[in-house]
Amino acid sequence: MAVSEAKRGERVDSDDMTIAYVGGGSREWLPNLAQDLALADLDGTIRLYDVNPESAELNADFGNWVQDREKATAGWTYEATGDLDDALDGADVVLLSTQYDPMETFVHDLDITEEHGIYHAVGATIGPGGILRAMRTMPEYKRIAARIREQCPDAWVFNFTNPVHFVTRALYDEYPDINAVGLCHEVVHARQRLAELASEHLDVDAAREDISVNVKGINHFTWIDEAYCDGTDLWPLIEELADDEEGNRTFTPEDLEDESPFNDEWQVSWELFRRFGALPFAGDRHIVEYATWFLNGGKEGLNRWGVKRTGSDFRAKHWDPAESEQTTDVTAWMDGEEPFELEASGEAFIDILEALSGGERFVTNVNMPNRGQVEGVEHDAVVETNAVVSAGEVRPLAAGGFPRPVRSLVQGHVDTIETVVEAARDGDVDRAFEGFLIDPQVRTLQTEAAAELFADLVEAERDYLTDWNLDDADVIDDV
């Protein structure tokens, strides 16, 4: 099952690890990571770099505060720095997790696109919003990859920044020998859902760790064609559930009014399984942006399948700790205003670090360039499959191919991604528009209308697209 071409690097020292965190002012992921690291069998130093130094300094204070909790078993020291090279210098591991102010970017991706008749569900990784996010993010990540090549060329680099497939591809495009892995928890959440279904219908006590699947695709558009619970084949159960009440529920906007946008009913996944014989294995809110039939009909069309749009108002509040349940106010913990309990987040990243340092081998989903692990998808495109992580090595597993209709869907999105990646090499806006134009969401528009949408998005986010040759773009001039 293993693909022969693995990523091999240095075995990470579990007793003296140096982690550089680019985006170390994170308001959500760093608070979870600090807790996971405090409970891990690892020790070392974490350097937090952020363009907002105050946020990095606050998180450094929090990380060191967590280390002083009674339940902490590891030995970590947190440092904040305002210099990227200082953060990267000699690092063993680099974490990438950044985001631009959504009020100046993400909100436009959603609202302008809707004004032009396209009803995004999320707008983060594909479609008009996802492509604009890629255009403003990839140039910066190419610069980061260049600094990694100079400061820590052998480091293990883990990218959590969306759109994961675009961004991870940009890292390799700049530095082909980089040891970069894109990570996402969508497959982890889907395994948890299968564990719950197995527990409910097979009278077993299943946990996420008991579920093994053959996962393949691209980030947020992964599929499985095998699933087991502690050795028991789950495919008969999946086929049964797809045809009974579990897989055939419908919803109204009123049903979802009080639900979180992250709520996942799996009705899109069941429908695609019935049509194509393979089961999508990411959240429905992401799946619909790749399998775009479900976006037709606006809010009612989307809600019918149990999917609630992640709107611009939510994104704006998400940026503000005082407004968002998803954004952690670490100051409230440290000041005693909110109770704090040191506990693991359940993310797989710590298991990866422990395996790379010589601990127990670990199998998890990763995003890496296609070197044969997925059949029918072009070489070097970033694909998502399982991989075996062991001391100094990440080895993707051969996952096979897809039914023809699914392959067509996946490869179409790969063509969009690769076209925009190629355009980013010299900032060719017209070439980027070609990738934009072939996106399935955009194909619902006439070409002139698509050009107007693209131009409006570019104009609204011009300050974040300075690496692109906007002044020489015919698509902008012609609108």
What local confidence, expressed as pLDDT, does residue 238 receive? 98
Cβ of 127: how many Cβ atoms within 10 Å? 28
Q: Regarding beta strands 382-390 and 211-218, do their DSSP bridges make them parallel or antiparallel, or are they unpaired?
A: antiparallel
108 is catalytic: no
Beta bridge pairs of residue 17: 44
DSSP category for residue 98: -
Among the options 108, 120, 165, 185, which is catalytic? Answer: 185
Q: Residue 405: is its pLDDT beyond 70?
A: yes
Q: Residue 2: is its pLDDT beyond 60?
A: no
What local confidence, expressed as pLDDT, does residue 325 receive? 55
Q: Are 304 and 297 in contact (CB under 8 A)?
A: yes
Query: What is the C-alpha to C-alpha distance for residues 341 and 333, in angstroms, rounded to an integer?
Result: 9
Query: What is the C-alpha to C-alpha distance for residues 429 and 435, in angstroms, rounded to an integer?
Result: 10
Q: What one-character-per-residue DSSP string does 158-211 give?
A: EE-PSSHHHHHHHHHHH-TT-EEEE--SHHHHHHHHHHHHHHHHH-----GGGE
Residue with more model confidence, 329 or 277? 277
Q: Are 72 and 137 in contact (CB under 8 A)?
A: no
Confidence of residue 153 (pLDDT cuts 50, 70, 90): very high
Beta bridge pairs of residue 215: 224
Identify which of 212, 224, 184 has the alpha carbon closest to the alpha carbon of residue 402: 224
Q: Are 127 and 453 in contact (CB under 8 A)?
A: no
* Average pLDDT of the residues in 335-362: 92
DSSP category for residue 347: -
- Tokens coding 73: 């078993």
The structural domains of the chain, with segments of one domain joined by +, span: 7-100+126-184+342-378
Q: Residue 39: is its pLDDT beyond 70?
A: yes
Average pLDDT, the chain: 93
pTM for this prediction: 0.95
Q: What percent of the chain has pLDDT over 90?
A: 86
φ/ψ (deg, to 5) at 91: -65, 145
Q: What is the 3-state secondary structure (H, E, C) of 135-173?
A: HHHHHHHHHHHHHHHHHCCCCEEEECCCCHHHHHHHHHH
* Average pLDDT of the residues in 140-160: 98
Per residue in 290-302, pLDDT (tens digit) is 999 999 988 999 9
Query: What is the C-alpha to C-alpha distance for residues 389 and 261, in angstroms, rounded to an integer?
Result: 33
* Average pLDDT of the residues in 134-161: 97
What local confidence, expressed as pLDDT, does residue 4 receive? 44
Amino acid at 280: P
Q: Residue 303: is its pLDDT beyond 60?
A: yes
Residue whose pair of structure tokens reads 């807790």 in the numeric block: 35
Identify which of 418, 432, 427 has the alpha carbon closest to the alpha carbon of residue 170: 418
Q: Is the dihedral of CA 53, 54, 57, 62 positive or negative?
A: negative
* Average pLDDT of the residues in 214-235: 97
Question: 7-100+126-184+342-378, which class in CATH?
Answer: alpha beta
